[in-house]
């Protein structure tokens, strides 16, 4: 039991480090190309520590506000893409040009494990809900809304950039927004996408951070949200720097190694084993009694 909790704790720290490295590289490649990755990492880590220190309720309220900002901004940008004539439906053709085999290859394992497999993180947060009875309803609604939003945005990026440009681009959203130029007045909207990505990154890293703190609290029998926040924050920061020697190596590790060695066992293997165990215990219990 202790070993499994420790493995999950390390896993959440690792995920937070990976996402933090993603956004460190995003800022360096887009805006802060003369800034040290260490400086950016320290600034982001301090904000994360402060956010986690305030607690789940304060974080959830901020996330709700950020959600409204994200939806409104994406809606405006998508309307600009349509009105500006940047949507080219021919970029979606040919539909299933390489057949279903290519689709399934992209879907498994990376398409399933990220982001949907990461929903397992919420099992650490569900016990802290005030209205646990609404968890299933709200959770399923969030999954559906998130899936539809990701699908729509992926289609729009494909229509604007084309499949080749989307495949080659490290951050397709930034590339797509850079195309916008309406009567030489509405242009240079890159900062809006950058702000949205940073907000999303803050929310995602914070959730992994919360899960790591909860795991450490249970594992080491510490007081909730004590000095462990600062220690774990420091570990996440240093891990983000040492996780890979370069950004390309970081991407290769995330696409070729992590899904098979970490995501599939923890996101699919462990839940299936727990489900089988619960089913067997339910069947055996009446017999024993």
For residue 183, pLDDT over 80 is answered with no
Query: Residue ranges per domain, the chain?
Result: 2-288
CB-CB contact of 52 with 126 (8 Å): no
User: For residue 288, what pLDDT band results from cuts at 50, 70 and 90?
Assistant: very low
Q: What is the pLDDT of residue 238?
A: 92
Among 48-62, 107-121, 134-148, 211-225, name the most confident range.
48-62
**How far apart are the C-alpha atoms of 16 and 111, rounded to whole Å?**
19
pLDDT band at 71 (very low <50, low <70, confident <90, very high): confident
- Tallying the residues shown for the chain, one arrives at 289
| Mean pLDDT of the residues in the chain | 80
Banded pLDDT at 286 (limits 50, 70, 90): low
Pairwise CA distance, residues 196 & 190, whole Å: 10
- 69, pLDDT greater than 80: yes
User: What value does the mean pLDDT take over residues 180-205?
Assistant: 79
Task: Tell me the average pLDDT across 242-260.
Answer: 79
| Residue 49 in this model has a pLDDT that exceeds 70 | yes
pLDDT in tens, 114-153: 777 777 788 788 888 887 778 888 888 888 888 888 888 8
Which residues have a Cβ under 8 Å from the Cβ of 157 and sit 6 or more positions away? Answer: 166, 172, 173, 176
Using the predicted structure, report yes or no on whether residue 224 has a pLDDT greater than 60.
no
Judged against a pLDDT cut of 70, whether residue 242 lies above it is answered with: yes
- Of 228 and 115, the structure prediction assigns the larger pLDDT to 228
The predicted pLDDT at position 225 comes to: 60
Q: Which of 26-40, 52-66, 171-185, 238-252 bottoms out in mean pLDDT, i.e. has the lowest?
A: 171-185
pLDDT of residue 133: 79
82 or 226, higher pLDDT:
82
3-state helix/strand/coil string of the chain: CHHHHHHHHHHHHHHHHHHHHHHHHHHHHHCCCCCCHHHHHHHHHHHHHHHHHHCHHHHHHHHHHHHHHHHHHHHHHHHHHHHCCCCCHHHHCCCCCCHHHHHHHHHHHHHHHCCHHHHHHHHCCHHHCCCHHHHHHHHHHHHHHHHHHHHHHHHHHHHHHCHHHHHHCCCHHHHHHCCCEECCCEECCHHHHHHHHHHHHHHHHHHHHHHHHHHHHHHHCCCCCCCHHHHHHHHHHHHHHHCCCCHHHHHHHHHHHHHHHHHHHHHHHHHHHHHHHHHHHHHHHHHHC
Q: Which tokens in the block code for residue 170?
A: 């490290």
Across residues 187-211, what is the average pLDDT?
84
Q: Report the predicted TM-score, pTM, of the whole model to 2 decimal places.
A: 0.83
């Amino acid at each position: 039991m202790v070993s499994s909790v420790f493995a999950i704790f390390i896993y959440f720290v690792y995920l937070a480090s990976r996402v933090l490295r993603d956004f460190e590289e995003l800022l360096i490649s887009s805006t802060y190309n003369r800034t040290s990755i260490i400086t950016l990492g320290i600034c982001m880590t301090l904000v994360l520590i402060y956010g986690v220190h305030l607690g789940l309720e304060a974080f959830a309220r901020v996330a709700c506000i950020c959600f409204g900002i994200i939806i409104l901004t994406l809606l405006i940008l998508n309307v600009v893409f349509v009105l500006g004539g940047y949507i080219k439906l021919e970029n979606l053709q040919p539909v299933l040009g390489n057949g279903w085999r290519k689709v399934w290859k992209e879907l498994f394992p990376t398409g399933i494990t990220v982001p949907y497999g990461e929903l397992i993180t919420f099992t650490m947060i569900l016990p802290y809900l005030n209205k646990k009875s609404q968890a299933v309803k709200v959770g399923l609604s969030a999954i559906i809304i998130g899936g539809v939003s990701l699908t729509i945005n992926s289609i729009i990026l494909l229509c604007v950039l084309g499949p080749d440009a989307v495949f080659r681009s490290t951050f397709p959203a930034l590339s797509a927004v850079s195309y916008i130029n309406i009567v030489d007045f509405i242009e240079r909207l890159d900062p809006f996408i950058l702000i949205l990505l940073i907000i999303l990154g803050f929310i995602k890293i914070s959730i992994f951070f919360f899960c790591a703190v909860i795991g450490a609290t249970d594992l080491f029998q510490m007081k909730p949200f004590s000095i462990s926040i600062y220690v774990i924050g420091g570990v996440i920061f240093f891990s983000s720097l040492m996780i890979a020697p370069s950004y390309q190596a970081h991407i290769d590790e995330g696409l070729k190694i992590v899904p098979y060695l970490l995501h599939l066992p923890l996101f699919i293997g462990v839940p299936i084993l727990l489900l089988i165990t619960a089913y067997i215990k339910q069947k055996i219990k009446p017999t024993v009694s």
